[in-house]
Amino acid sequence: MNWTRALRRVVPPAFRRIDADMLEKLEERLILADFGVQASMRFVDLVEKAARKGTARDEAGLRRILRGAIRDVFDGDGGAGAADALTVAATPPTVYLVVGVNGVGKTTTIGKLAHLLGTRGRRVMVAAADTFRAGAVEQLERWAERAGADFIRGQPGGDPAAVAFDAIAAARARGTDTVLIDTAGRLHTHGGLMDELAKVDRVTARHHPGAPHETLLVLDATVGQNGLVQAREFSRYVTVTGIVLAKLDSTARGGIVVALREELGIPIRMVGTGERLEDLKPFDPDEFVEGVLAARG
Ligand SMILES: Nc1nc2c(ncn2[C@@H]2O[C@H](COP(=O)(O)OP(=O)(O)O)[C@@H](O)[C@H]2O)c(=O)[nH]1
Ligand SMILES: [Mg+2]
């Protein structure tokens, strides 16, 4: 993924030495780049300390400190192998529940993920547990066809938890190793739908111990800091194990991955970079860091 277009420049242009004025500019840029206040202040502190100790003086020194500090935020995260780092069940099927507010890109992400896992030799079934919105089931069915995945639906307006239940049973019967469950767009202020989501989670776990093996929260990169609010709200109802950041092709707010990882402690698993089947990439912290340092915008 080419991050430079999805990021604003954080290294202040044309400064001679690290001093108070430059540190102030750096902090402002980090915050404007959506790194979040917490990480921005911590990074500025690190640079200031290094300058005081004499271990960083100029732009090269600043870049060295930033590179290390940003990389540390993602310490232990999957990198290029993140798609394979998604938990796999000891007893199939592996179940991934996909959640997020309306319009963030859940259904599209499921289509792309089904394709990606398919290319890694996994047999995938997608389950339309979004029984709330008209058209949602057909949209998912089209993605399943394109990805070459099995597809299962419920009754229109029916119980989403029943769809999850049926999908696991069908996957067992057919020997399908992976089930992706699409859920209705939750307005995070909509308590009823959130309770329904928690029920999908519970029924899945009861029917198949250990499931869901991942609960992936899809966030829309274009909304910036609002993603933090959504993540906190969803975490009250389900255990989010990973984030998929969609629509990175349409934003310069990619710095949000730092705020999400720093403030929530949830790994960024994948990034969405467009509307085609192949536009889902594992999040690679090294690529991200190099993008931050190269960003000019
Ligand atoms: N540019 C771009 N558009 C995306 C991406 N992911 C999803 N979309 C678009 O966002 C809109 C909502 O996506 P959808 O999957 O229906 O969202 P859902 O309501 O969360 O299921 C659709 O028009 C998608 O084509 C992405 O990575 N890049
Ligand atoms: Mg959808």
Q: What residues does each domain of the chain span?
A: 4-73, 79-283
Distance 217 CA to ligand 2 centre (A): 13
Would the pLDDT of 80 be above 60?
no
CB 236 within 8 A of CB 265: no
The CATH H-level superfamily of 79-283 is: P-loop containing nucleotide triphosphate hydrolases (3.40.50.300)
Instruction: Choose one of 106, 253, 275, 280 to mutate for the ligand 1 pocket test, by most ligand atoms within 8 angstroms of C-beta.
Output: 275
Would the pLDDT of 261 be above 60?
yes
Q: Does domain 4-73 have CATH number 1.20.1250.20?
A: no
Would the pLDDT of 132 be above 80?
no
Residue 207 confidence (pLDDT): 94
**Sign of the torsion formed by the C-alpha atoms of 69, 71, 72 and 74:** positive
Residues 6 or more apart whose Cβ sits within 8 Å of residue 211: 89, 94, 95, 168, 204, 205
Span 75-97, mean pLDDT?
A: 80
Ligand 1: residue whose CA is nearest its atom 9: 105
Identify the band that residue 296 occupies on the pLDDT scale cut at 50, 70 and 90.
Answer: confident
**Ligand 1 atom at minimal distance to the Cα of residue 133:** 19
Pairing type for strands 124-129 and 150-153 reads: parallel
Instruction: Measure the CA–CA gap between 180 and 107, rounded to whole angstroms.
Output: 10
Q: Confirm or reject: Cβ of 107 under 6 Å from ligand 1.
A: yes
Angle in degrees, CA 152, 156, 158, rounded to 5:
85
What is the overall mean pLDDT for the chain?
Answer: 93
Span 19-46, mean pLDDT?
A: 97
Span 77-105, mean pLDDT?
A: 84
Q: Confirm or reject: Cβ of 31 under 6 Å from ligand 1.
A: no
Taking only the tens place, the pLDDT of each residue in 216-257 is 999 999 999 999 999 999 999 999 999 999 999 999 999 999
Would the pLDDT of 27 be above 80?
yes
Identify the band that residue 134 occupies on the pLDDT scale cut at 50, 70 and 90.
Answer: confident
Residue 188 confidence (pLDDT): 55
**Ligand 1 atom at minimal distance to the Cα of residue 100:** 20
- More confident site: 157 or 142: 142
Residues 6 or more apart whose Cβ sits within 8 Å of residue 28: none
Q: How many CA atoms lie within 13 A of 69 on its CB side?
A: 25
Residue 82 confidence (pLDDT): 52
